[in-house]
Structure 1
Amino acid sequence: MNADHGDVREATAPRSAGHEATRRGRPDLSVRPIGSADLPAWANLLRAVEIVDDQGEHYDTEDLAEEMSDATLSAADDTRALWDGEEMVGYAVVHARPGAQETDRIRLEGAVHPLWRRRGLGTRLLDWMCDRGRQAHTQKNPQVPGLLTTGTGAGNAGARTMLERAGFTPARYFFGMRRVLSEPIPAAEIPEGLTLTTFRPELDAALRATHNETFLDHWGFQPRDEEVWRIWMTGSRSFRGATSHLLLDGDRIAAYVLTYEYEADTAVTGVRDCYIGQVGTRREYRGRGAARALLSRTLLAARDAGFDEASLGVDSVNPTGALGLYERLGFRTRREWVNYDLALDEP
């Protein structure tokens, strides 16, 4: 059973890309790339967007600084912000990485302040992201087909209409699931011959290799290089090794669950959530209850560490039966997202 839930927060449910403005009068806005001094204004914009769009995601300046530290992201080339004086009222970011193997998936994200919607700003930002995405594809991975990808809440009719008018089509649906940790947690036996351990730094390189092997045949997956792994996975400030578990067959990693805690979420909601970002089992160990055993231990560890809830995201058509497993472990769907794709010309 495999589920790379990092993509849900990182890619599949971006920050409400493409909404438009509602203020009366013609907006006189300036445009520039996002710099380090702009992070507080960016965080303020995202707070305003979350109040209206209810994506379940909150970001502080430290989160944004970490994301911008990705060496493959050029602030000058890959970011834009719309400004009304000192207030950021819209933004756009294009994530494109070299080294694509079969398909170059270029991730677009953006948002417009709720008070500035329905005046064409979302379309303006989307047009720029599409143009920049095509350029980035040509620059970084012209040898393989290119694909622009973004997403939005399933109920966000405005964003979905805008994306479809631009030629994007729905590609995948994802569920955001939660469970309260005060409720009983089902027990599960460790599969025979395997040993349970929490994350240890000396296992990190092998864990990345295991993840890339385990998810190679999954929809939309691109192997994680060292930089992605550092920014988004075990090197992230949100990663929690104490509640992340692995099953070992000798020195070989058979299965794993990686967890995260987003401090900005806790600061706003007052609820400590253990986010389960990745669940993976090597093919030869599937069907033995490895994922269930790991998830049970992870939920118990999160409860004992003082977390109130656990959450995750799952592909609605995950071929390994992840959705059913999560429901049996007490998770219930709270949100739905739609991933949209737009194919670029063949190389």
Structure 2
Amino acid sequence: MELVWRPLTTADIPAVTALYNAAEAVDDTGELLSEEDFAQSFGKADLPLGSVGAFAGSSLAAYGLVEPRDDPSLVHRVRLDGMVHPDFRRQGIGSSLMPRMVAQARSLHLAAHPALPLVASTMVESRSTGHLALVSSLGFTADRHFHEMEVPLGESLAQVPMPAGYEIVPFSAANPDEVRLVVNAAFAQHWGSTARTPEEFAASFTDSKRFVPSTSYLALDSASGAVIGFVLSRYYPAVEEMTGVRELWIGDLGTLEEHRGRGVASALLSWTLARGREQGYHRAGLSVDTANSTGALGVYERTGFKVARTWIDYGLPVDLG
């Protein structure tokens, strides 16, 4: 079988979405995406230099997207997202796709951050044996594990009161840039995290169609009125359209280090879940680094979240010589 490899364009979004969802029907990773979701990813990508499609005639056999970071520090960890259509698997296409994406990551990295080391990374769902075998054969190693957790938003939700000295307000009550700086500070010590620029924060939240400000809340220090904690939520229509389940996705949750250990995060999350139930959501979901040193996993478990699946972040240091 002869394949034609070329960069993707926005005209390929329907084909990429169809391929992705055909693969999801087989792989059952729980990640459901629409054309609108891919349009957002394509909008952030350098398609001529950071994308690739493998075409068998008029059929898209595989695709890849390369996602550099705007403002990396210490190490530039570039994400590789790719998929081979189930009808074209076990023909060596993945073994050709991944090196192409690594090469693109290297070129984009050298153009933007040549002084930093580069790691090409890709997320693999822990039950995807073929994907696990592929990345291992190419020299990628498992760097981190992330639990994807869920909780049904029923009457049995845990109710955690906010401790004295703090209050909860809607996201709209604060300046978004103040929230961005608090988010950056709260995640400063998290593995793989980099400070979000105003543009990145806007793309992820304030300007994103997936951001749900009506179910996003802030914790304030009552004495100063300063933002010290946050829950920033998202909603993905494709999940409800394909499963019938309306899911509130907890995109970011955190508190500043000096306010941890007092129950602020648990109370803020509990409040958000209750409001989500009132707004018609059936369940909430989130992702957590299993090695997170702030005790986040315990916060989620106490609020009723259970592990639904586990993702592994595989990394490959790239030679820049």
Q: TM-score scaled by structure 1? A: 0.88
Equivalent of 2:142, from 170, 192, 195?
170
CA distance in 2, matches of 1:153, 1:172: 12
Q: Which runs of 5+ in 1 are unaligned?
A: 1-26
Q: RMSD between aligned alpha carbons?
A: 1.5
Find the aligned partners of 2:249 and 2:40 in 1 and give their Cα distance.
18
Instruction: Tell me, yes or no, if the aligned pair for 2:172 and 2:213 is still in contact at 8 Å.
Output: yes
Q: Is the 8 A contact 1:94 1:133 kept in 2?
A: yes
Name the counterpart of 1:56.
30
CA distance in 1, matches of 2:8, 2:225: 44
Whole-Å Cα distance in 2 between the matches of residues 125 and 236 of structure 1? 29
1:286: which partner in 2? 260
Q: Does 1:182 align with 2:145?
A: no
How far apart are 1:146 and its partner, in Å? 1.3
Measure the CA separation in 2 of the matches of 1:280 and 1:178: 18
User: Are 1:137 and 2:109 matched, yes or no?
Assistant: yes
The offset of 1:184, in angstroms, is: 1.1
1:39 aligns with 2:16: no
User: Is the CA contact 1:186–1:296 (under 8 Å) kept in the aligned structure 2?
Assistant: yes
Query: Which whole-Å CA distance do the structure 1 matches of 2:143 and 2:155 have between them?
Result: 35
Distance change (3 Å), C-alpha of 1:346 and 1:124: closer
Instruction: Please give the per-residue CA displacement for 1:37-65, whole angstroms capped at 9, x wherever unaligned.
Output: 11111111111011011111111111111
Deviation at 1:85, TM superposition (A): 3.0
Q: Deviations over 1:252-290 (max 9, x none)?
A: 211001111100111000100001111110011111111
Does 2:276 align with 1:315?
Answer: no
What secondary structure does 1:200 align onto?
Answer: helix
Quick check: 2:71–2:196 contact (8 Å CA) kept in 1?
A: no
Q: Counterparts of 1:286 and 1:346 in 2: how far apart (Å)?
A: 40
Count of residue pairs the alignment pairs up: 319
Q: Secondary structure at the match of 1:254?
A: strand
Give unpaired runs (5+ residues) of structure 2.
none
Alpha-carbon displacement from aligned partner over 1:319-338 (angstroms, at most 9, x marks no partner): 11211221121111111111
| Alignment-derived partner of residue 76 in structure 2 | 104
Query: What is the rounded CA distance, in whole Å, between the counterparts of 1:60 and 1:111 in structure 2?
Result: 15
Partner of 1:84 in structure 2?
56
Partner SS, residue 311 of structure 1: strand
Cα deviation code 1:112-132 (max 9, x no counterpart): 001110101101110101111
Q: State the partner residue of 2:130.
A: 158
Matched letter for residue 238 of structure 2: A
Partner residue, 1:206: 178
Question: Would you say 1:228 and 2:228 are equivalent positions?
Answer: no
Secondary structure of the structure 1 residue equivalent to 2:15: helix
Distance across 2 between alignment mates of 1:129 and 1:283 = 37
CA–CA distance in structure 1, aligned partners of residues 277 and 307 of structure 2: 20
Distance 1:332 1:97, change over 3 A: closer
1:218 corresponding residue in structure 2? 190
How far off its partner does 1:31 sit? 2.0
Question: Does the 8 Å contact 1:97/1:140 carry over to 2?
Answer: no
Q: Which amino acid aligns with 1:265?
A: V
Aligned partner of 1:302 among 251, 276, 283: 276
Mapped contact 2:71–2:195 kept (Cα < 8 A): no
> Which residue matches 1:258?
232
Which amino acid is the alignment partner of residue 96 of structure 2?
A: R
CA distance in 1, matches of 2:208, 2:31: 16
- Would the aligned equivalents of 1:80 and 1:93 in 2 still touch at CA under 8 Å? yes
Note the C-alpha offset of 1:227.
Answer: 2.4
Give, in whole Å, the separation in 2 of the partners of 1:256 and 1:36.
34
